Structure 1
């Protein structure tokens, strides 16, 4: 498409390109021909990222762009993936910033190459500092505080906040938010890539400390692990979670999970890609220098009947 031959700067948008391939990628809304790279810190097997990717793929289809998706939970390898996208001369990059310090050099390299980059999902407090143009995600500190307030109102005094990925600023912010409302909150680190290990760690902790009255998981698959650990340990703690998948939504419906704090990952993926398209085509800046919030949004018995079908459809 001749992208490498076109001079560009980090602050300039690029005119739309025509995609002449008749491969159906034009979708219902456009035929831009842009190539957009999405790079995440996804841990393989975590269903949360299915929603991110589904939203991104739908957006790419709607604007006629090609989406290149890659992921690695290791910060140094995620940085390498961003550099690979830069070397491939993609038109735009959307990346999570769970470990912003480790990714800062790669983000700067994109700017130096004149490739617009937006952040999403993680890094809301750091995205501007590292040089991302826009951001789409939840205010995780606010989400944690609000969850903690609900726990406190229900009489909870000793929540266990389960962190499944070491070094993630978003996960740390969630637990810190809960602790700000419930000072007795305790964190536990588990290996989110190994469900059996998560169950074993939580079972041992619950057996060792029966004073734990709430379990706060930071991802829907971890919530399902927690249910197994609670059953095996005989714990009477109550369970809340961040994020949704179809099984967690059904567990809310069945009364096994009290509520979920949803950040709408489908919207994050969709908006990250769409924002790059609009920036490249028109120079649009969504958010006006502020993050665009997709959450927190609470899912509980009051609205689960409405939301459950969308969760099963992988869009909520």
Structure 2
């Protein structure tokens, strides 16, 4: 409560990124936190450079929240800044091999996976049900899986196979 946080915005101006940022900011407001937003991209070398510079200039930062998978750069950035794994909590969206490795190494504490495999599979099933049985459409929230270190260990092979990504 009352901590200072940095948000990595990997999609400045894009609807999905703005919606994620809005949710992150509403959460932070409810805990009386302050924050800065770093407009970045999905270029991890750019994210790495920006986060390094930010943390050097803002050593009071208590957490890093990424609206994409850029928080995974903590695994490269933290050792250079003498920051231990978990010293500054990092949370991301999506599970990529980089995020998986950063979670397993303790540099990222969690990610929320939107499960794109289901996002592709479920509409096909829905289309079949609509055509065959005249079912109405439905909405499925596929973005509710929170992946922590324990779960990352269980889904590691699926991430490497591209089922989770």
- Structure 2 length-normalised TM: 0.79
Corresponding residue SS for 1:260: strand
SS of the aligned residue for 1:213 comes to strand
Of 133, 148, 153, 1:305 maps to 153
Name the residue aligned to 1:166: 12
**Within the alignment, does 1:176 sit opposite 2:22 as a pair?**
no
Question: Is 1:230 the counterpart of 2:78 in the alignment?
Answer: yes
Of Structure 1 and Structure 2, which has the larger fraction of its residues in helix?
2
CA distance in 2, matches of 1:183, 1:313: 41
1:185/1:284 CA distance change after superposition, 3 Å: farther
2:130 to 272, 279, 296: 279
- Residue aligned with 2:101, SS: helix
Give the Cα separation in 2 of the matches to 1:295 and 1:269.
13
Alignment check: 8 A CA contact 1:252 1:304 kept: yes
Task: Let me know the Cα RMSD of the aligned residues.
Answer: 2.4
Structure-1-length-normalised TM-score: 0.44
8 A Cα contact 1:163 1:171, kept in partner = no
Partner SS state of residue 65, structure 2: strand
Question: What displacement does 1:258 show?
Answer: 1.2
In the other structure, the counterpart of 1:244 is 95
Q: CA deviation at 1:240?
A: 1.8
**Residue aligning to 1:195:** 44
1:197-248 deviations in Å (ceiling 9; x for gaps): 222211111111111011111222x122343333334444222212101231
Structure 2 CA distance for aligned equivalents of residues 183 and 270 of structure 1: 40
Alignment partner of 1:208 out of 43, 57, 62: 57
1:263 to partner: Cα distance: 2.0
Aligned partners of 1:163, 1:214: CA distance in 2, in Å?
Answer: 14
CA contact (8 A) 1:175 1:187 kept: no
Task: Report the count of equivalent residues.
Answer: 158
CA distance in 2, matches of 1:172, 1:238: 17
When Rg is computed on C-alpha atoms for both structures, the one with the higher figure is 1
CA shift for structure 1 position 277: 4.3
Measure how far apart 1:282 and its partner are. 4.3
Going from structure 1 to structure 2, the CA distance change for 1:261 and 1:182 (only over 3 Å counts) comes to farther
Matches of 1:183 and 1:306 in 2, distance apart?
Answer: 35
1:268 is aligned to 2:119:
yes
Gaps of 5+ in 2: none
